[in-house]
Structure 1
Amino acid sequence: MSKFFFLWLLGNSSLLFSQEVSKKRVVEVLSHLASDEMKGREIGTPENETAALYIAQKFAENKLDYCVGHSYLVPFNYRGKIVYNVCAIKKGKSEKTLAFSAHFDHIGISDNPRDQVFNGADDNASGVTAMIGLADYFKTKEPDFSLMFIAFNGEEKGMKGSKAIVEIPDLQTKHQNIAALFNFEMVATVSQFGPNALYMTGDEFSDVDELFNAQSINNLKIQPDPHIGQQLFYRSDNVSFVKKKIIAHSLSTVDMTKAKHYHQLNDDLEIVDFDNLTEIINNFGKTIEKLNPQNFAPKYTDKVSFE
């Protein structure tokens, strides 16, 4: 190795490895969203709006484009009040788009004098952190697909935010360009399949998992839905896009048969396996880098219901 090349390599090492999302960043984002100061991020509260603004700030740090209008904040009406989804675009080499989403609202506060805040670290600060982590990962890259990042509001009140954003007239062309939407829903724990793995709700309804796994990096694996009887595919924000015949699945790690923190006060930072979540974010990003409109064009099967 020449002296000059060595000096160049040394000086540019941060660029060469800049795509890696650090555990420190993951801890920072998730801890902020799940803090007591956020008071459970219930839709319609000042803290919910603060969370939306925080996500918009992270999108701005990654120099993403607006999905619509002149702001990352996409307003809709909830019980006579203006609340916000948050949406951003990373332009790639193609108009065909991969979307990454997660809901950022939770269920607020309780009257328990010992612990009043439903922090929602797993549900769903973890999913939002995964989405922001992917935006971080692609900050200096030009992927083959364009990338859309959507933070939904009001999931806990009947998927209000995803139902609103999927109907915005000025977004219809962008929605129809979506090859697949990956909705992160509770990814803070190590899955029942082991580390570095997620399961996909409604895996029998499309070939997303097979096509993704064929390109996966570092043995990242999307596993089949282990909770088919619970109909999770139709119970999260992905279904708002399914009804538009857009391929959309939720990805999770939570074991719904054993999770004692779901909608409980103990859904706090102690639940989170930050090492596993960081590994998943980075391996997911590396896999997305390999995908293009030629090797990743998923289709629904005839088993899915669009109603």
Structure 2
Amino acid sequence: MNKFLLLILLGASSSLFSQKVSRERVIEVLSHLASDEMKGRETGTPENDAAALYIAKKFAENNLSFCFGDSYLVPFEYKGKVVYNVCGIKKGESEKTIAFSAHFDHIGTSDKTEDKVFNGADDNASGVTAVIGLADYFKTGKTDFSLMYIAFNGEEKGMKGSKAIVDIPNLQEQHQNISALFNFEMIATVSQFGPNTLYMTGDGFSDLDELFNGNAVNNLKIYPDPYLKQKLFYRSDNVSFVKKKIIAHSLSTVDMSKAKHYHQLNDDLEIVDFDNLTQLINNFGKTVEKLTPKNFKPIYNNTVNFN
């Protein structure tokens, strides 16, 4: 990690003075997760465990309750090792829940080049930063919805973590209370639709984007998925919840037709637009503040495949 670059980023001026979650906080979290010391956060490694513990610490700082049991760490087995998802919840006025999720694992290291670490700044330290940022945003005050925060492990290994957590018997009641799960997947860059925008995979399968956009603040907007041929809806952790008929979509900004950093060694801090990411987190939080179980009831249509 280029520490000189990090100092420049931390010291840079920003026009986002009114934001509840600061640009500096966003830089701090993303830079830690995408640091060389994390060695690419590959599932089953000590660094992956360290990333899970770091996320759990941030959940504790935000006074989240455990999803169940006595820890934010939710274990599952991967290749004979115990590894962890991370889950916390903030109780609202209703048991109805909005969930925010992202996977924190990445693909590890390379022994073929001088730069050996796949830092995964966009994929998916950016998404986890949004989840932690939203926990920061809602630390104080009450919301109509309860809010669940999930950091999945093992996405790069075939969505192992989301498949494990969605089947935990003690979480079934909480899962069934989820009105919508927003899964953040690679949101470090400005989307092809411009700043302060995301696109939603599987937008044609539900009315989630229409309902969200109808309440969106500060010109935040979710656009339809422009990469339908890639079937992204079925390729990320949201699909584990879809199979339970829970409204769950992934949100992204990455241009899949042009991006040259996907699973590459250059997926580092240099490609992150911190101003845009900070803006997205804050405007997302401001929008969720407006949502209630009465005005936000997304449903699937009959075109989605639940198998």
Common topology (TM > 0.5): yes
Is 1:275 the counterpart of 2:304? The answer is no
Residue number in structure 2 paired with 1:174: 174
Residue number in structure 1 paired with 2:8: none
Question: Which amino acid counterpart does residue 223 of structure 1 have in structure 2?
Answer: Y
Tell me if structure 2 keeps the 8 A contact 1:19–1:137. no
- Aligned Cα RMSD in Å? 1.0
Question: Which amino acid counterpart does residue 30 of structure 2 have in structure 1?
Answer: L
Q: 5+ unaligned residues in a row in structure 2: which ranges?
A: 1-16
How far apart are the structure 2 equivalents of 1:198 and 1:140?
26
Secondary structure in structure 1 of the residue aligned to 2:59: helix
Q: Would the alpha carbon gap of residues 88 and 19 (structure 1) be closer, same or farther in structure 2, given more than 3 Å must change?
A: farther
Once the two structures are superposed, residues 14-42 of structure 1 have per-residue CA deviations (whole angstroms, 9 ceiling, x without a partner) of xxx99700000000000000000000000
CA drift at 1:230 = 0.3
Residue number in structure 2 paired with 1:300: 300
Work out which of the two has the higher radius of gyration on C-alpha atoms and give 1 or 2.
1
1:206-221 matched pairs, under 5 angstroms: 206-221=206-221
Tell me if structure 2 keeps the 8 A contact 1:190–1:254. yes
1:142-181 matched pairs, under 5 angstroms: 142-181=142-181
Once the two structures are superposed, residues 88-111 of structure 1 have per-residue CA deviations (whole angstroms, 9 ceiling, x without a partner) of 000000000000000000000001
Indicate the percent of aligned positions where both proteins have the same amino acid.
Answer: 79
Tell me if structure 2 keeps the 8 A contact 1:19–1:138. no
Tell me if structure 1 keeps the 8 A contact 2:98–2:180. yes
How far apart are the structure 2 equivalents of 1:72 and 1:142?
21
1:1-307 matched pairs, under 5 angstroms: 20-307=20-307
How far apart are the structure 2 equivalents of 1:97 and 1:42?
30
Once the two structures are superposed, residues 44-79 of structure 1 have per-residue CA deviations (whole angstroms, 9 ceiling, x without a partner) of 000000000000000000000000100000000001
Secondary structure in structure 1 of the residue aligned to 2:256: coil
- What is the total number of aligned residue pairs between the two structures? 291
How far apart are the structure 1 equivalents of 2:222 and 2:270?
25
Secondary structure in structure 2 of the residue aligned to 1:215: coil
Secondary structure in structure 2 of the residue aligned to 1:187: coil
Tell me if structure 2 keeps the 8 A contact 1:199–1:252. yes
Secondary structure in structure 1 of the residue aligned to 2:294: coil
Secondary structure in structure 1 of the residue aligned to 2:250: strand
- Misfit runs of 4+, over 3 Å: none
Residue number in structure 2 paired with 1:10: none
CA drift at 1:114 = 1.2
Q: 5+ unaligned residues in a row in structure 1: which ranges?
A: 1-16
Secondary structure in structure 2 of the residue aligned to 1:282: helix
Secondary structure in structure 1 of the residue aligned to 2:141: coil
How far apart are the structure 1 equivalents of 2:19 and 2:68?
27
How far apart are the structure 1 equivalents of 2:200 and 2:184?
10
How far apart are the structure 2 equivalents of 1:110 and 1:176?
41
Once the two structures are superposed, residues 277-307 of structure 1 have per-residue CA deviations (whole angstroms, 9 ceiling, x without a partner) of 0000000000000000000000001110000
Question: Which amino acid counterpart does residue 39 of structure 1 have in structure 2?
Answer: K
How far apart are the structure 2 equivalents of 1:141 and 1:116?
43
Tell me if structure 2 keeps the 8 A contact 1:19–1:136. no
Question: Which amino acid counterpart does residue 180 of structure 2 have in structure 1?
Answer: A
How far apart are the structure 2 equivalents of 1:97 and 1:204?
22
How far apart are the structure 2 equivalents of 1:72 and 1:111?
34
